[in-house]
Amino acid sequence: MYENYNSLGFFSNYFSRNEKIITHKTFEDAVTNLHQKIIDPVTFLEIFSKGYCFANRTLVKDLYRTPWMAKPSSDNSDWEYFKLPKHDKNKFSENEIAEKFYNLLEEEMYSFCSEKKNIGVLLSGGMDSRISAGILQNLLNKGNLNAKVTAITWGIENSRDIIYAEQIAKRFQWEWRHINLTAKILLDNLDYCSEIGCEVSPIHLHAMPVVQNLNGLDCIIASSFGDSIGRGVFSSRHISNLKNISEYLFNWFYLLKNKPYRKYKEIAKNDLELYRNNYVRSEIYQILEIEQLSIYMRRMLNTCIGIINQKIPTYQTFATPNVYGFIWSIDKSLRNDSIYAYIIKNYLKELSDIPWSKTGKRYNTTEGTSDAYLKEYHMYHKWINEDIFDNLFANLNSYNIDKLYFLNKKSLEKAILANRKIITNRVTRVDQVFTWLVSVIKMMQKFDIQTNETNFKQSVRDEIQSHFVTPYVMLLEKIIDFKKKIK
């Protein structure tokens, strides 16, 4: 269970404590074996703020995700932590970095696939999965691997991810499976999310519950860590410009009553200190990179990809110690787009003319005009606020929200209704919160999870703040759209 615990792509299990550590493979198994099943309200602030839980916290008190880079001691009395490679400032030439990086990625891919005969690859129009696909094909061309490959892509018709992924699969003569995203799949994901603990919004599950049930695959290759390790980028921010996650801890749209918000904020901040204390680094970018990997990447992306791993062994590329250890050893200024540009030019020439889904242009160029294909591969905002809104709202109202004593019910309702008026192709913060809360209610009912008797009464301040929710929602989304246009 802990063979690859030192990989960035390790899928954390669950644990609880009695006298010793008790581990569980699934949320259902873990929560069923708890003596008391009580909701943890701190996770509401964390998910409202960033969309995922911090540190090892789950939505249920006394139930945790196994720690990052750790495995149980031989007697299950405590956790043994991996000694992470150090960050350094070595300066090599662009060619030396790219050559070494490519060879390490090839070794990593071979270690995953050497004995596999039917390999699935999650393939989008982005660069990360494209690099992984090219490495896999090169190993096949050299005769180092002997396997059938199936590329798997999800998204709506005429989107860049779909168009580009199909082109890549055709050039490699791979089978290509396209899973069309629909409002029905999103609705199914609400139920699925409730079964696995609601640690992220069901929006982020995409077609993963469908992929886990594909037949005839020995393993699946994912590339979630390509941006962060390959290009030094987290959510479009380079490592030299990262922000502390605690800066986003805020009472968004006044969804929490003010008194519990102040209380839970301090606890959430402590969650963010856990891995800073475990892995001390000298420079702020190093501290924040570890924060991004141990919190955001682990609790958001690995949580989602881990769904597939429940039924089909799934491996994350760019994630083994040799790979991230080498990248950490070089100066941060050299961790940039030129690494990928070199690899494409020298190892993946046959893919160099296929544009990048983020820009609709060739990778690492500003020349030319973007293609006419859709940048977004989904229509979640429309589906949520038009196609399935009545279903979602009815589910939300089927539960007595007052039982979630820390929520400001008036603010929640106004945020949801204001969000319906926003015209956009992207997912809004309220879209994520709305769908997530419906899944949480389903989870609490399914597993009989209760709330504490603590009661935070609606204060005058809570009442006043609820009146500002509608303009708050509208203004925030306009600011986000404006910033995206500038970029």
Q: How many CA atoms lie within 13 A of 178 on its CB side?
A: 20
DSSP 389-416: HHHHHHHHHTS-GGGSTTB-HHHHHHHH
Domain boundaries, given as residue ranges, for the chain? 380-486
Nearest Cα neighbor of 315 from 210, 175, 219, 177 is 219
Q: Is the pLDDT of residue 130 over 70?
A: yes
Pairing of strands 219-222, 118-122: parallel
Q: Is the pLDDT of residue 21 over 70?
A: yes
Task: State the pLDDT confidence band at 193, using cuts at 50, 70 and 90.
Answer: very high
pTM: 0.95
pLDDT of residue 487: 62
Q: What ranges in 374-468 are assigned the alpha helix state H?
A: 380-382, 389-397, 409-419, 429-447, 460-466
DSSP 23-58: EESSHHHHHHT-S--BB-THHHHHHHHHSS--TTB-
What rounded mean pLDDT belongs to the chain?
Answer: 95
Q: Is the pLDDT of residue 57 over 70?
A: yes
pLDDT per residue as tens digits for the range 275-308: 999 999 999 999 999 999 999 999 999 999 999 9
Q: How many CA atoms lie within 13 A of 472 on its CB side?
A: 18
The 3-state DSSP class for residue 148 equals strand
pLDDT of residue 157: 95
pLDDT per residue as tens digits for the range 426-483: 999 999 999 999 999 999 999 999 998 777 889 999 999 999 999 999 999 999 888 8
pLDDT per residue as tens digits for the range 314-327: 999 999 999 999 99
What percentage of the chain's residues is helix, strand, coil (to nearest 5)? Answer: 50, 10, 35
Looking up tokens 């259902």 gives 28
pLDDT per residue as tens digits for the range 158-184: 999 999 999 999 999 999 999 999 999
CA distance readout (Å), 370 to 96, 158, 260, 358, 375: 32, 14, 47, 10, 10
Q: What is the average per-residue pLDDT within 210-229?
A: 97
Q: How much of the chain exceeds pLDDT 90, in percent?
A: 93
pLDDT of residue 360: 95
pLDDT per residue as tens digits for the range 347-376: 999 999 999 999 999 998 888 889 999 999
pLDDT of residue 367: 83
Q: Is the pLDDT of residue 422 over 90?
A: yes
Task: Find out whether 148 and 156 touch, Cβ atoms under 8 Å.
Answer: no
Encoding tokens for residue 256?
Answer: 């929490």
Q: What is the average per-residue pLDDT within 94-103?
A: 97
- Extended beta strands in 134-291, E state: 148-154, 175-179, 219-222, 233-234, 237-238
Give ∠ CA 121-122-128 in degrees, rounded to 5. 100
**Long-range contacts made by residues 441-444, C-beta under 8 angstroms, separation at least 24?**
441/395, 441/396, 441/398, 441/399, 442/190, 442/191, 442/194, 442/395, 443/59, 443/193, 443/194, 443/195, 443/197, 443/198, 444/39, 444/399
Q: Is the pLDDT of residue 219 over 90?
A: yes
pLDDT of residue 483: 81
pLDDT of residue 364: 86
Task: Find out whether 92 and 37 touch, Cβ atoms under 8 Å.
Answer: no
The rounded distance, in Å, linking the Cα atoms of 28 and 414 is: 33
Q: What is the average per-residue pLDDT within 380-398?
A: 96
Residue 13, strand partner residues: none
